[in-house]
Amino acid sequence: MSDNLQNKLTEIRNLCNDAERLMGFESIENETLQAICKCIPELLSLLGTIELQREEKRKETIGMLNDECSRLRKWVEELQSGMFVNCVYCGHRYGPEETTPVSMAEALKEHAESCPDHPMSALKAERDRLLEKVASMEKMMERVCSGSDMPAA
């Protein structure tokens, strides 16, 4: 059950208890009201049960969809294993039925990370260059802050 609903139910239950106390349930005039108030907790608990069933149904559906996704992913892998896959940047070709235990999609992904023509290698080189720059600037900052770079007085 969602926290919001749980909080709302608690709030309503508390209100019912307050109302019950304030109205003085012994009095005959309040008999109808009394009956209604007595029904409310039952209704709330029923509502809670319904919400709980919905939650279980939702989890069940998510589980089924996850299973279906796994099945389809496996199917795609099987289809790809009977084909060649090419890197669109350098033309490197894998398959069919490579000896590698990984799927064709995995093989291509690994290739993309090291392919000299793939945009990712340019990005990686740029990242490495910038990381080096950051490291050297950090060293410079440390030297300046510790005063070792200051001219002797």
Interface residues toward Zn ion, by CB under 5 A: 87, 89-90, 92, 115
Q: Which is nearer to Zn ion, 63 or 119 (CB)?
A: 119
For 87, counting Cβ atoms within 10 Å of its Cβ (0-12 exposed, 13-18 middle, 19+ buried), the class is middle
Q: Which is nearer to Zn ion, 122 or 134 (CB)?
A: 122
Diameter of the chain measured on Cα atoms: 98
CB of 101 to Zn ion, least distance (A): 21
CB of 104 to Zn ion, least distance (A): 14
CB of 78 to Zn ion, least distance (A): 24
Q: Which is nearer to Zn ion, 103 or 107 (CB)?
A: 107
